Structure 1
């Protein structure tokens, strides 16, 4: 079956026909209808699961959903296509076809114009990455501890800003409207990336995103800037037979690689790893991974979310906790490779134990000690009288 490129208008109209509450119910999600603008659901997508509806919200007007526990405040709601991809494991095309069948909508025929638009976008992103690479200006990335050989391997570059990229792409026949649609330039006609170190993101050998890191935090505004922000950096170069290292950021990943700690990926943020990323790793044959996020609250919360998504795909996961306030790149630069490796080896927990410890951190020691005392007494009683222990088990199972 040939892949069809769907128009934005078709997808938007299809999503308007969706009843997201019923769609979630159809897939076994526990949903409660509300009297106002929201329905509610028990969140499946994070480690804050409870037998209530505190976190999951379905906006009945927009037909979008959001988990207030694991999705950042600034993130908008997700739609039915996101749900089918992340929860039901469908591809984008499968999700569209499922929704169209439910709505009784015909799938459009393949449109050669749309296929050509896709080809042009791929070419524009490739040319943009090559343009940035040709600018040099890698001092910032070198100062962060990334080696020159690693920067060349990943085609790192620099975005000068203004209309430099726009004028370059116009020489190849790309229009202002095209570049605006693909976010390569903003609504004022200026380059989207400016005064930033650039790292292309690849998938199946094609540039699918461009990450820009501000080289002067005081002038460039937002430190981390992606064109789209939904890809998994480094995934094209991993060896699935080795343990995959999952970092928060591209900087951490490439600094680690510069110190001989390769086979890494990054989602571009502690809470940006998704089930789509986990499924992608699984399809590539990955069966073991270690999460090496920053040693702060965001890193711990992100590790909980990431670990659960990986385990859901049958990938064995461990979590390496870094010292408070430390990130992998900083630790490598200030203390060296051996210090990071030794720390990871000494503070590496399998995900179930890591998750348990994070839960226990919510309780005071008095409550934990009370529980341990009761459990110790129960085990001692069972050991002294095995028959009583069996009776207790039967009673508990009744």
Structure 2
């Protein structure tokens, strides 16, 4: 949930699978990391972790240097929003989410009654964060966090997350071998950071443990509790897509620039679906791709979603998926690009077509990794397209036309 860049990180369901925890390092680096951990023993005790737990969990712990480059590789900030949204809100995730709404309807009804957050929003977080529990992340939290606590940027931040992880284990909520997640420490169905877990996780199934790994009820309720604590208002929409009049002055756009909805209406802003704007309340105008792309009026509930992972593209993915789970359609205004993003099924099709052309890229899993990007650069050059390694509509169409 919240990590490296201020509060942001990317959901595991959007991650490219990376190499598992490195089993060994050069001796000097390993010794340096062990020395760092020894220095953390007293601060961990001040945090509330017993010396016995600290010694047990750090015994033989080795560093994972592959986590360090990921500090500066967050897709919410480097991926075109039409690619980001296409992969996170696609037909598969919508269909799976509707199935989860039905399967967990009783629990979700209790969650909404307790915390005031609607079922579609909670399930949308679940879907984006871990693809409904299918993708927790494969990295063991303790070595990842120990590495980040001793190396690179934000060491102080990650030390607190390391101590929080130890506290979770010590209190018996989750066994250390079950604590696998993202490179930055987020874990479980809805990818809580360890310190966030300690503050906001709840025992909703009544078994005495706050288990976000093996208890879906605990995970869903904890997510709703997070949103409520972040300012979620019961019964308030996150916002909606709007249309702007010709010549609209968009200089006042921005998530923080909330104004009375009546003021937006007076400036000619209308709902994209033709409905009337609300007559009361405040909202901000969000233009994630500029004035030529989709426009949205967003409320304080959008801000609550944003607080889960501080990126507007992430919050919009959650918000839009929740609408799609309720039966709404795609955005009325297309993204301002002539090369739209691809769903996961379409990305797998790209990879299948690359394999058919003899490119050794591994299994077609929909994850656009280094080998897929290199193969794309080759075929893009062959087709006379910009050789940027991006999986977009144009290269998919070209591959389809040139199908062997």
In our comparison, the structure showing a higher alpha carbon Rg is: 1
- Say which structure is richer in strand: 1
* TM-score normalised by length of structure 2: 0.28
Q: Which has the higher contact order (CA 8 A, sep 6+)?
A: 2
Per residue, is there more helix in 1 or in 2?
2
